[in-house]
Amino acid sequence: MNIVSRCVRCFVIAIVAVCGPGLGAQAPAVDSPLAVIGYFTETGAKSGLFTVKNLVATGAAARLTELDYAFGRVANDQCQVADSERALKHSYSAEESVDGKADADGPNQLRGTFHQLQELKRLYPKLRVLISFGGWGASSGFPSAARPDNLHDFVRSCVHTFIEGYFAPGIRASGIFDGIDIDWEYPVGGGVAPGSPEDKKNFTAMAAEFRRQLNAVRPGLLLTAALPAEPELYEHFELREISQYFDDLAIMAYDLHWDTEPITNLHSALFHDPADPSKPPYRDYYGDFAVRGFLAAGVPKEKIIFGVPFYGKGWAGVKDENHGLYQAASGPAKVPSAYRVLKALPSAADRQFYSATATCSVWNKGNFWSYDCPDAVRAKMAYIRRQQLGGVMFWELSQDTPDGELLGILSGSQ
C-alpha cells in the first residue's frame, strides 16, 4: 500500500474510533477503512469446493480488500508456480468461468486459476490479489533462499515470475498479482522445517530486498507477511525493523492450542481465561497478548492485521463437563472442523460463546471443537476497531458457509 492510501486509511480509522463502527459499515467493502484479507487456496479450487467463480457467486469478491492466493512454492532458492497444471493450464468451461466463457485452446495460452484471477480483477479492479509463499509444512525453502549469497536472485525470481508475469515459457501475463505475501513458518525454529539463528537477520534482509525490487517495478506494489502469535516465535523476528518494509503484518491469532494436546483448550482466544490450566509459555497464547507484544516491539498499530480462523480444532473422547472445555481427550476429532461443517451439527449440540475470551466451542457426542462463531467474530472486529488496527485477515474462504456468513461480519455487510 502506498503512503497516500495508508494515510487516508489511518484518517478514516480515526474517524470511526470517534464516531463508532457504524460509519465504516455503511460503505462498500472495497472502500472500508479496515483491510479485509482472505486466503484463497489452490486446493479448494482444485477440489471444486471453492473456485474463483465462487468469489463472485458468494459475494466474497465485493467484501474483500485483498485476496491472498495460497500458495506459491519456494524451492531451489527460487519462487515457483506450485501446481502449474491447475494454475496455468487447466481448461475451465463456460459454466465454471468468471466471465462465462470457456478457456481458449492453443499453445502459450494462459488458462487455469491464474486466468480466472485475471478475469476476476476485470470485474473488481479495486481488489488487490497477492501471491503467498510458505505456509505450515511448506516453508522449508526459505532458510537457504534468504541467505545473503542467494537473496538477490531469489527475490528476483519471485518478482520476475509473479509480478512481471513470466509464469512459464511462452506464457506471460503481468498485472494479475499486486504484491507478495510471506508466510515463512518459521524462521529460527518452531515450524516443521528446521531453522537456524541466522534466519532472524536474514528475514529482515529479505524484507528489505523484496521492498527494493518491488518498488523498482512499480511503487504501490504490496508486501505483507503472516506472523505467529506465540511470543517465543515472534521474538524470532526483528519486528520494528521489518515493519518499515512491509505494508501489513498479520498476526495468526489461531492454532494457539492444537488437537494433539491431551487436554482440550481454546485455539483462538482473544483474551486470557484465568481458568486455563496451561503452564508457561502456553498461558500467554491469546490474541491480545500478541497484539500488545507487536506494539511494544514498535510495529505501528495501523500495520497490524488481526487474524481469525474460519475453522476449529477438534478433540475426541471428551466428556460433556464444562461444555467439554479443559477436559481430557483421547485424540483429535475425526469430523472436519471447517465452520460450515460445525454450523451443520445438530441443534442438540452444546454450543457456547465465551464473551470473556471472545471465542466459542461446541460439544457433540464426545467431540469438542474450539472455533470462532459469529458472536466471536463480531467481538474481534469490535476489538480491532477499539485498538485502531489495520484490519482483519482470515484463513480461509472455503471454510465459511456457502452464504459467506463470517466474511459478511468481517466486512460489515451483515
d(CA 47, CA 49): 5
Residues linked to residue 252 through DSSP beta bridges, in sequence order: 228
Quote the crossing angle between the two packed helices 3-19 and 374-386, to the nearest 10°.
Answer: 110
β pairing state of 313-316 and 304-309: unpaired
Residue 98 contacts residue 119 (beta carbons within 8 Å): yes
- Phi first, then psi, for residue 353 (nearest 5°) are -115, 125
> CA distances (Å), 197 to each of 210, 215, 231, 235, 336, in order?
21, 29, 16, 12, 37
d(CA 111, CA 338): 29
Question: Half-sphere exposure of residue 301, counting CA atoms within 13 Å on the CB side?
Answer: 13
C-alpha cell at 258: 492444537
Q: DSSP of 169-236, one letter per residue?
A: TTEE-TTS--EEEEE-S-SSSSSSS---TTHHHHHHHHHHHHHHHHHHH-TT-EEEEEEESSHHHHTT
195 contact partners, CB below 8 Å, separation of at least 6: 143, 186, 187, 188, 189, 236
d(CA 129, CA 171): 19
C-alpha cell at 88: 496455468
d(CA 292, CA 299): 10
Quote the crossing angle between the two packed helices 148-158 and 199-217, to the nearest 10°.
Answer: 40
C-alpha cell at 103: 478457456
Q: Residue 173 is which amino acid? A: A
Cβ atoms within 10 A of the Cβ of 27, count? 12
> Any catalytic annotation for residue 185?
yes
Catalytic hit among 185, 209, 302, 396: 185
Residues assigned a catalytic role: 185
